[in-house]
Amino acid sequence: MKHLIVIIGSLIIAFAFNFFLVPYSILSSGISGIAILLGLITPFDTGLLNLVLNLPLIILSYFKLGKEITVNTLICVVSLSLFLYLLPVLQVTDNVLLSTIFGGVISGIGIGLILKFSGSSGGLDIVAIIISRISNVSIGLLLTGMNGVIVLISGAIFDWNIALYTLLSIYLTGRMIDKIHTNHIKLTMQIVTTEGELIRKELLETIYRGFTITDGYGGYSKEKKQIILMVVTRYETMQIRGIVRKYDDKAFINIFETVEVDGTFARN
């Protein structure tokens, strides 16, 4: 299922590129944007350039992000390169502003879907994920900041109107990524259960998080209970719920957003 989502996300990105951005020489973010640039000024195909430029970063992904994300990234890069090659370059609208807006939003949807399902679309996404894990800065914001150089290149080679459209496209892409991929958002889970010891053991074996357990009792039943408190990322909540329900289908789980974490918090 994950691999299918990655392929669908790659198709969405390629659609945004070839139908909205490339016809107006508007660049995208990261390595894909550089591939578009080189494709516009050289005889080489954008899809092939995207594949070649991403290979070194895929190797970096293997060592820094692990096998699962790297496999998904490789699938994305290959499928995106293939879709860029197969899809024709068509000008959907004669309004450059509309093309910029829709191209940025649609490509952000594609990238966000891929990131949400433990992958990356390659290129600077890999760098952004690594930095986000150690800095707690959102991936969308990181990508927007790192892609400033692409705007400068766009302005120098084409014209500054195109550069500003490129900046708008990159900004919209980053915003859509943050709307879909919310792994940087921290949540606090408060679990009230009668099976605290069993849940504790499995959490220690499967979840790379610290947590605190206190004793309590039901206000009505006066039954002895354990209260587990932990801070997690959004994508870990489903796994933790599964663990809790495995041992206690009557457990009370309260989840609320955490504004700030001051202390040790692993982002792996």
What are the pLDDT digits (tens) for 205-252?
A: 887 778 899 999 988 888 999 999 998 877 678 788 889 999 999 999
Flag whether 268 is in a domain: no
How far is Cα 181 from Cα 140, in angstroms, rounded to an integer? 9
Q: Are residues 172 and 139 in the same domain?
A: yes
Q: Are residues 16 and 110 in the same domain?
A: yes
Whether 184 shows a pLDDT value over 70: the answer reads: no
Range of the domain at 234: 186-258
The per-residue pLDDT for 11 is: 93
The per-residue pLDDT for 88 is: 92
Whether 55 shows a pLDDT value over 80: the answer reads: yes
Q: Are residues 107 and 8 in the same domain?
A: yes
The per-residue pLDDT for 35 is: 81
How many domains are there within the chain? 2
Flag whether 203 is in a domain: yes
The per-residue pLDDT for 266 is: 56
The per-residue pLDDT for 228 is: 95
Q: Are residues 174 and 201 in the same domain?
A: no
Among the three residues 157, 180, 203, which one is the final residue of a domain in this structure? Answer: 180
Q: What are phi and psi of 72, to 5 degrees?
A: -60, -40
Place of tokens 């669908």: 8
Q: Are residues 172 and 192 in the same domain?
A: no
The 10s digit of each residue's pLDDT in 145-156 is 777 777 777 787
The per-residue pLDDT for 94 is: 92
Q: Are residues 15 and 100 in the same domain?
A: yes
The per-residue pLDDT for 140 is: 64
Give the CA distances from residue 176 to residues 95, 126, 140, 167, 258, in Å, rounded to whole numbers and listed in that order.
21, 17, 8, 14, 21
Alpha helix segments (H runs only) across the chain: 2-16, 30-41, 46-64, 67-86, 96-116, 124-135, 139-146, 148-157, 160-180, 196-206, 237-247
The per-residue pLDDT for 101 is: 94
Q: What are phi and psi of 135, to 5 degrees?
A: -120, -15
Q: Are residues 222 and 115 in the same domain?
A: no
Sign of CA dihedral 171, 172, 177, 180: positive
Alpha-carbon dihedral angle through residues 40, 46, 48, 53, given to the nearest 10 degrees: 80
C-beta of residue 121 within 8 angstroms of C-beta of residue 80: yes
Flag whether 266 is in a domain: no
Flag whether 118 is in a domain: yes
Q: Are residues 144 and 88 in the same domain?
A: yes
Share of the chain above pLDDT 70, in %: 88
Q: Are residues 175 and 195 in the same domain?
A: no
Q: What are phi and psi of 259, to 5 degrees?
A: -75, -45
Flag whether 229 is in a domain: yes
How far is Cα 35 from Cα 189, in angstroms, rounded to an integer? 43
Place of tokens 């600077």: 124
Whether the predicted model's global pTM rises above the 0.75 cut: no
Degrees to nearest 5, angle at CA 176 with 256 and 123: 110
User: Which of 28-32, 53-57, 136-140 bottoms out in mean pLDDT, i.e. has the lowest?
Assistant: 136-140
How far is Cα 7 from Cα 3, in angstroms, rounded to an integer? 6
Whether 200 shows a pLDDT value over 80: the answer reads: yes
Q: Are residues 47 and 175 in the same domain?
A: yes
Among the three residues 149, 180, 211, which one is the final residue of a domain in this structure? Answer: 180
Half-sphere exposure of 228 (CA within 13 A, CB side): 28
CATH for 245: 3.30.70.120
Question: Around Cβ 147, how many Cβ atoms within 10 Å?
Answer: 25
Mean pLDDT of 50-72: 79
Whether 192 shows a pLDDT value over 90: the answer reads: yes
Among the three residues 160, 180, 200, which one is the final residue of a domain in this structure? Answer: 180
- CA 4, distance to chain mean position in Å, is 16
Q: Are residues 80 and 103 in the same domain?
A: yes
Q: Are residues 17 and 137 in the same domain?
A: yes
User: Which has more pLDDT, 142 or 162?
Assistant: 162
Flag whether 265 is in a domain: no
The 10s digit of each residue's pLDDT in 81-135 is 889 889 998 999 999 999 999 999 999 899 888 877 755 666 776 777 777 767 7
